[in-house]
Structure 1
Amino acid sequence: MLVVHGVWAGDGLAFWAEDAAVDPRPAAGAAPRSHPFAASASTLAAALALPEAARDASQGPGEGVRELELLLPGSVKEPLPSPETGRLSAIARPRLHLWRVDALVPPVGEALRLVDEQAAGAATLRHWATVVAFARDLVRRGRVIPRLVTVGDGGTGERPDDGGVGQWAGKWAQPEADARAVWQPVLTGADASYFKELALAMPPACRTWRAERPSGEVLGEALGAFADALVRAALGEPLVRRPGTPQERWLAALTGPDGACPDVPGLRKELDAWRASVVAADGAARVCFRLVEPADAGTDAGAGGGSGEWRVEVALQAADDPSLYVPARRVWAGEPVVGLPRRPERELLAGLGRAVRLYPELDRALRVAEPSELTLGTRGAFEFLRQAAPLLQAAGFGVQLPRWAGRARLGLKLTTRTQRQSAATGQGFGLRELVDFRVDLAVGDETVTEEELAELARLKVPLVRVRGQWVELDERQLAAALKAVEGGRAGQAPAADILREVMQGDDELPLLTVDADGVLGDLLSGQAERRLLPIGTPAGLDATLRPYQERGLAWLSFLSELGLGGVLADDMGLGKTVTTLALLVHERAGSGPTEPTLLVCPMSLVGNWRREAARFAPELRVHVHHGSGRDVGEIDGADLVITTYGTAQRDLEALRGLRWRRVVCDEAQAIKNSSTLQARAVRAIPAGTRLALTGTPVENHLAELWSIMEFANPGLLGSRSRFRTRFQEPIEARQDEQAAQALRRATGPFVLRRLKTDTSIISDLPEKLEVKEWCTLTAEQASLYQAVVDDMLAKIDDSEGIERRGLVLSAMARLKQVCNHPAHLLKDGSLLAGRSGKLSRLEQLAEEIVAEGEKALVFTQYSEFGTMLQPYLAQRLERPVLWLHGGLPSRTRDRLVDRFQHDDEPMLFLLSLKAAGVGLNLTAASHVIHVDRWWNPAVEDQATDRAFRIGQRRNVQVRKLICAGTLEERVDEMIERKKALAERVVGAGEDWLTDLSTGELREVFRLTAEAVS
């Protein structure tokens, strides 16, 4: 298993990896030495599925394969392995040493994609994913401005308030260039505060290239590079094709792939003044441009729809209230407007002076004393739409376009008719069957005739009216349309070819509408689940399916008979397990003994699947292929074979040699990264059909959806690179609505997604009530708490690097233990009664719960504390208190779950959060108590959903115990205030707090008066 890391290498984001399968051997030679278990560049490139161009070290400065020196903790003999590898180390007192690793430094755009795809990996990549999200948000809100930075100073002349975002700017310029045109973030107000929070949360491993650099400096360089790349990707093409003057060369460099350009001191000073004014004004008002259609446009292309005068209206707009829009004519008339600056005419002129640098055509409007609009011809209007508008918008100007802009495009309409009508797959329709098809040109829902297309070609105008709709028509689209007309527009083809055409589409001439009948129509509609006749609960299934589950069963059977795979993406708790088992029972009853189904799941769910199969489908022959004594020979005769992702990877060759009716991946987010070994393994197992089960088909980016779809229906969405070009980049970088619609059309037939919050799906799921229980400390706890704070802050203040990080984590753990109970910290085996405010509140809650004849789940992240609580609570309550932790064998675990679910006696189920946070169905509980917090909302929600799921018939009360006046309260406030940051940066624990300054730690750890009872 590879653990991929990201480190800022001065001029780009570098990726390197630890190979958890390699045994580390002491490195020889003088420092810096080769990292003993770092992966080679070729291994890393293959795992990341990088294109060859991104691996080529000769492609440009700072990009490709490089050998980096990283400052990493460890001993003289070997580095300390990262926690994600799962390795254990005997190094007692790690120190920082330089180690050499092979790394890949891809172009920034490629690096952004890799960060998205690896966002759930190591702590460094989780942090970089958050930085990329921040850069995207800044670009989306227009909080970037163009600049011209000289190469000589590398941006070091930036002001201190710049956050370092300009310091990267000169490092990639070509040697012969004097300067570089860049897009630079503007950080003021809340953005500046968030920047500081991200800097504080940055893991040290993100910034240890050669030396441990300040996090703010590294973050500034990276944020500047990311924002610049994102703007260029959103613009799509250079504004100036054949630059001549220095101004034009700067514009071409600003909007093209390469920012290198000559220095223009006067322009550079103007742009610096622009930035200073933006920071000082903080966006009180901005100049806005509105494109207005010709009043006499006609009705269609043949009626002169390409003629007429277009106008770009100039106005002032309040940045924080876009509805406050004041045309320039009113500004020059001196009309007072509340919400605009005191001298709005000065703001208007200053803004127009800046905008003309980006849109030189605007100079014509500035030749009058009171500019209010710019008149354009049709081609000029088209260039404003395609080039100037995105550029002005990126720089923070307001832009208002007609509603049809970017939407009404020339495309294709596909009509298919089955040669024999069939309403269900059982009547023999298959993907090899021929269907009649016809392809027409269309604008929206309107078909375009060959005569109209010929007229469009004759006019050679990029903006025309077709059937009453304005259409943007560039030369490439027109050429594609003429080619489509010349080719075969009607005939017969296999249904599979039609399906592939719909899925993959065309870049220049997209498929706009599909009109299909019969089974193919049901499939392509994306509404097959609603159109198909539901399949009732099959005989042999010991359960009663709900209506939405009957529709889901019909959908799964429908796809299976067509030989297609699917993604059952129902919300957690809606019964994906029982629906899948119902499919197996239904097929077994219909065709008798068949080839087995292979189900691949996380190891924690093996027992759950075996138990659920025995409960709901007792006639199915189930075999678990897992453990040291596994034998593929025992699979023969089974209906359902359950294995784990790790076992599937290790036994790939044996599993590939068997015949499988179906491969099912449960918790399919485990294969969302298509380049991982386990994702490759499950894709390599041949089967008749495939089924992915997941509640989160897309967690971070669209490449995850491609990976899961590539498992379910290999090749149907095209290659990974084509998917990136066709869908991912237009949607993520440019919010292209047409690409989003095309992706929904392509994936809709194969993804079934229902939410338990949708009352049309399920109306009888009870409510979940979340309550924070505020506890106080006893005097003993308060004294211990303060002693830990005083001791640890003194040590933290005198430490640095990895030593400081370890001390902070240790301090947090010890303070949480104090909040739990003094005996938890002291580990002296002393009595528990009367010494902890949190334990007292837990006792009260537990007594009330069992007195009402109910059951509760009690989660703690500390196994040692659970071991202390179990006998104490059992004695106090005189009721069973079950205790499940990671050290229990599978059979004991299953026995405890079965007892809790089926024993009528009121009881508590005490669970270790790591061992029981996922994969268990514990609906017998109507209460969930989190004794100590993991400080990750997603982890807590997963644990809570052990009780709040289908099968739960009572309201679920969730209580989180928090000690007031302690770090528990202040971290809870931070999470509530910054949920997005917590979910992306917190990751699997508290590492995000380790880089707070000593003063900030003092505030977080501080004990206040309300803490003590």
Structure 2
Amino acid sequence: SQLQVLGAQQQAQLAALSEQYTTQRQHMMQQLAQIDQELEMYEAEAQKGLHVEYLVKWRGLPYCECTWEAAEALEDFKEEVEDFRRREAKMGYLPNLNRPRDPSEFEEIKNQPAYMKGGELRDYQKLGITWLLHTWAHGLNGILADEMGLGKTIQTTCFVNYLVQAKQMPGPYLIVVPLSTLEQWVKEFKRWAPQLYVIGYIGDAESRKVIRQFDFYWEPGQKGGQKKKRQKRYRFNILLTTYELVLKDALELRRVNWCFLAVDEAQHLKNGDTKLYSALSEFDCNNFRMLITGTPLQNSLKELWCLLHFLMPHKFPNAEEFERKYAITTAADADDGDSNQNRISQLHKELQPHILRRVKKDVEKSLPQKTERILRVELSPLQRRYSRWILTRNFSELNKGAGGNQASLLNIVVELKKVANHPYLFEGCESMFLSHINFPPLKALIMASGKMVLLDKLLPRLKETGHRVLIFSQMVRVLDILADYLRLRGYTFQRLDGATSRLSR
């Protein structure tokens, strides 16, 4: 009887622990906010009917922390589950790689299609999408080189969406972007093309392995670890990734039959000798490529040729021939009778089908003129003292308390710039200044620099009116001083400099 009582007690304890675990798990799932996306569904026959599990990607967590969840555990996420089922019903497509690019299919985007749902496109953006469609229909590849701020991401997103919806080209599309802008690209696709399935191919090696295993190919009913012969049917439309991961995972990514390749910040391809240029050139993308850049093309014909050769290697095969044909010559060097003006005109004519460049002042009349206010401030007494020491090369005063870091004054202009920002940039200045005044450290930090005095007056007013503030500096040590000031004042801030890792960005 004692054993029976003990067994009953153990069963009660196990039941209580099970209930506690279930409660904690539900609470944890609620704390994770929302499901980012369901990657896979697994169905298996159980003793009491059909058992359904979902592989869940949680928002804010990497792919390597995806978890298999029973359907009954996702009662609070019915909308996400239904979205997944609707998307899954449309997946499993074969890439339409043999579809001809016929000029007769070109049509101008005059009215915004209903499936472009993110807002109202501006007229110049419709024109940009039309130009991209013209290059596609005529078998050309182009560079969208609009000035920054005109919506190159939106135009590219809508262009891809148009090809999927109107031209029966479901993908897969590969778009290579900087890590710092990848999340913005994902947001724009969700906004302007919510019907499309977009993957952000980032994370550590394990996370990328999970993406390739469960999110690349359409294999219904397969759970992790089960082997099944893969048919090249894809479950995603767009893959967004970074330059670094294209190099790391080039072997795996080249196995995909891409129907399109786009590269954002295309100035990274101006040097044809880089590993990135070589790796991307080897991708099979159905001869359909696009470059995106807001940086004006420079005067180097070699750099221009590198971009054009990447787009259409058969049309621009030889760099030397390109440079010889369009190089600007002096009168003594001219041996073919062509004037420089004729060469420039011929080059513009050659580039016209491949490059679209607009600037804000020409297309966006509704934007107000940029307002720039230069606020001049007086130097603090400490700054004036250090300026005088620098101009008179008073090394004895400059090097007081400097220890091993002696001032050299090899570049007086740079030293004066340091003074104008903050005297604490000089070794030993802070300790010397604090020893001669009765100010607390925060007040001393502010009063030592005229710029800091002004900033300390501006920030409270900007915060009261709900503004956010960007502060730029060419000196990392100035950012150190600003970080100390903001912490002492209790302001919340984020810092971005060259030491910030790509993952943190």
TM-score by length of 1: 0.32
What residue number does 1:642 align with?
Answer: 240
- Superposed CA deviations along residues 780-832 of structure 1, whole A, max 9, x for unmatched, are 2222344455568799xxxxxxxxxx945786665444322334444659332
Distance across 2 between alignment mates of 1:623 and 1:607: 11
- Superposed CA deviations along residues 616-643 of structure 1, whole A, max 9, x for unmatched, are 4344322233443233545443322222
Deviation at 1:578, TM superposition (A): 0.7
Contact kept, 8 Å, 2:409 with 2:415, in 1: the verdict is: no
Contact kept, 8 Å, 1:673 with 1:679, in 2: the verdict is: yes
Contact kept, 8 Å, 2:101 with 2:136, in 1: the verdict is: no
Among candidates 767, 791, 803, match of residue 369 of structure 2: 767
Letter matched to residue 496 of structure 2: H
Among candidates 682, 687, 700, match of residue 280 of structure 2: 682
Structure 2, gaps ≥5 residues long: 1-98, 218-234, 398-406, 435-440
What residue number does 1:860 align with?
Answer: 473
Among candidates 547, 550, 556, match of residue 123 of structure 2: 547
Among candidates 298, 312, 320, match of residue 713 of structure 1: 312
Among candidates 172, 197, 202, match of residue 596 of structure 1: 172
Q: By percentage of residues, which structure has more strand?
A: 1
Among candidates 565, 575, 592, match of residue 141 of structure 2: 565
Structure 1's 595 and 855: CA in aligned 2 closer, same or farther, altered over 3 A? same
Distance across 2 between alignment mates of 1:611 and 1:838: 37
What is the root-mean-square deviation in Å for CA atoms of aligned residues? 3.7
Structure 1's 855 and 537: CA in aligned 2 closer, same or farther, altered over 3 A? farther
Deviation at 1:554, TM superposition (A): 1.7
Letter matched to residue 737 of structure 1: Q
Structure 1's 773 and 697: CA in aligned 2 closer, same or farther, altered over 3 A? closer
Name the SS for the 1:757 alignment partner: helix
What residue number does 2:28 align with?
Answer: none
Distance across 1 between alignment mates of 2:311 and 2:114: 25
Among candidates 654, 659, 679, match of residue 257 of structure 2: 659
Deviation at 1:648, TM superposition (A): 2.2
Distance across 1 between alignment mates of 2:330 and 2:182: 37
What residue number does 1:739 align with?
Answer: 343
Structure 1's 823 and 657: CA in aligned 2 closer, same or farther, altered over 3 A? same
The yes-or-no answer on 1:534 pairing with 2:138 is: no
What residue number does 1:822 align with?
Answer: 423
Deviation at 1:724, TM superposition (A): 1.5
Structure 1, gaps ≥5 residues long: 1-427, 432-518, 523-527, 796-805, 894-1013
What residue number does 2:446 align with?
Answer: 833
- Superposed CA deviations along residues 496-523 of structure 1, whole A, max 9, x for unmatched, are xxxxxxxxxxxxxxxxxxxxxxx59x9x
Distance across 2 between alignment mates of 1:814 and 1:560: 54
Contact kept, 8 Å, 1:607 with 1:890, in 2: the verdict is: no
The yes-or-no answer on 1:884 pairing with 2:495 is: yes
- Superposed CA deviations along residues 68-126 of structure 1, whole A, max 9, x for unmatched, are xxxxxxxxxxxxxxxxxxxxxxxxxxxxxxxxxxxxxxxxxxxxxxxxxxxxxxxxxxx
Contact kept, 8 Å, 1:623 with 1:642, in 2: the verdict is: yes
Deviation at 1:863, TM superposition (A): 4.1
Structure 1's 864 and 538: CA in aligned 2 closer, same or farther, altered over 3 A? farther
Structure 1's 837 and 738: CA in aligned 2 closer, same or farther, altered over 3 A? same
Deviation at 1:674, TM superposition (A): 2.2
- Superposed CA deviations along residues 1-55 of structure 1, whole A, max 9, x for unmatched, are xxxxxxxxxxxxxxxxxxxxxxxxxxxxxxxxxxxxxxxxxxxxxxxxxxxxxxx
Letter matched to residue 125 of structure 2: Q
Deviation at 1:591, TM superposition (A): 5.1
Name the SS for the 2:273 alignment partner: coil
Letter matched to residue 683 of structure 1: S
Name the SS for the 1:594 alignment partner: coil
Deviation at 1:545, TM superposition (A): 1.0
The yes-or-no answer on 1:749 pairing with 2:353 is: yes
What residue number does 1:576 align with?
Answer: 152
Structure 1's 724 and 864: CA in aligned 2 closer, same or farther, altered over 3 A? closer
Contact kept, 8 Å, 2:175 with 2:238, in 1: the verdict is: yes
Distance across 2 between alignment mates of 1:607 and 1:817: 36
Name the SS for the 1:641 alignment partner: strand
What residue number does 2:93 align with?
Answer: none
What residue number does 1:995 align with?
Answer: none
Contact kept, 8 Å, 2:177 with 2:264, in 1: the verdict is: yes
Structure 1's 718 and 624: CA in aligned 2 closer, same or farther, altered over 3 A? same
Contact kept, 8 Å, 1:570 with 1:755, in 2: the verdict is: yes
Name the SS for the 2:385 alignment partner: helix
Distance across 2 between alignment mates of 1:889 and 1:724: 39
Distance across 2 between alignment mates of 1:719 and 1:731: 23
Deviation at 1:756, TM superposition (A): 0.8
- Superposed CA deviations along residues 214-234 of structure 1, whole A, max 9, x for unmatched, are xxxxxxxxxxxxxxxxxxxxx
Structure 1's 626 and 854: CA in aligned 2 closer, same or farther, altered over 3 A? closer
Distance across 1 between alignment mates of 2:268 and 2:330: 24
What residue number does 1:83 align with?
Answer: none
What residue number does 1:365 align with?
Answer: none
Contact kept, 8 Å, 1:603 with 1:644, in 2: the verdict is: yes
What residue number does 1:494 align with?
Answer: none
Distance across 2 between alignment mates of 1:663 and 1:807: 52
What residue number does 1:669 align with?
Answer: 267
Matches within 5 A, 1:918-937: none
Matches within 5 A, 1:122-133: none
Deviation at 1:861, TM superposition (A): 3.0
Distance across 2 between alignment mates of 1:891 and 1:670: 20
Name the SS for the 1:774 alignment partner: coil
What residue number does 1:1005 align with?
Answer: none
Deviation at 1:581, TM superposition (A): 0.8
Task: For CA contacts below 8 A with separation 6 or more, give which structure has more relative contact order.
Answer: 2
Letter matched to residue 882 of structure 1: F
Distance across 1 between alignment mates of 2:159 and 2:330: 35
Letter matched to residue 375 of structure 2: E
Structure 1's 731 and 744: CA in aligned 2 closer, same or farther, altered over 3 A? farther
The yes-or-no answer on 1:784 pairing with 2:386 is: yes
- Superposed CA deviations along residues 575-613 of structure 1, whole A, max 9, x for unmatched, are 101111111222222356722211122333333323433
Contact kept, 8 Å, 1:683 with 1:711, in 2: the verdict is: yes
Matches within 5 A, 1:864-875: 864-870=477-483, 872-873=485-486
Deviation at 1:692, TM superposition (A): 0.5
Deviation at 1:847, TM superposition (A): 4.3
Percent of residue pairs bearing the same amino acid type: 27
- Superposed CA deviations along residues 170-192 of structure 1, whole A, max 9, x for unmatched, are xxxxxxxxxxxxxxxxxxxxxxx
Distance across 1 between alignment mates of 2:367 and 2:456: 29
Contact kept, 8 Å, 2:174 with 2:238, in 1: the verdict is: yes
Structure 1's 713 and 775: CA in aligned 2 closer, same or farther, altered over 3 A? same
Name the SS for the 2:383 alignment partner: helix
Deviation at 1:866, TM superposition (A): 3.1
Among candidates 599, 606, 609, match of residue 185 of structure 2: 609
Contact kept, 8 Å, 1:635 with 1:641, in 2: the verdict is: no
The yes-or-no answer on 1:691 pairing with 2:290 is: yes
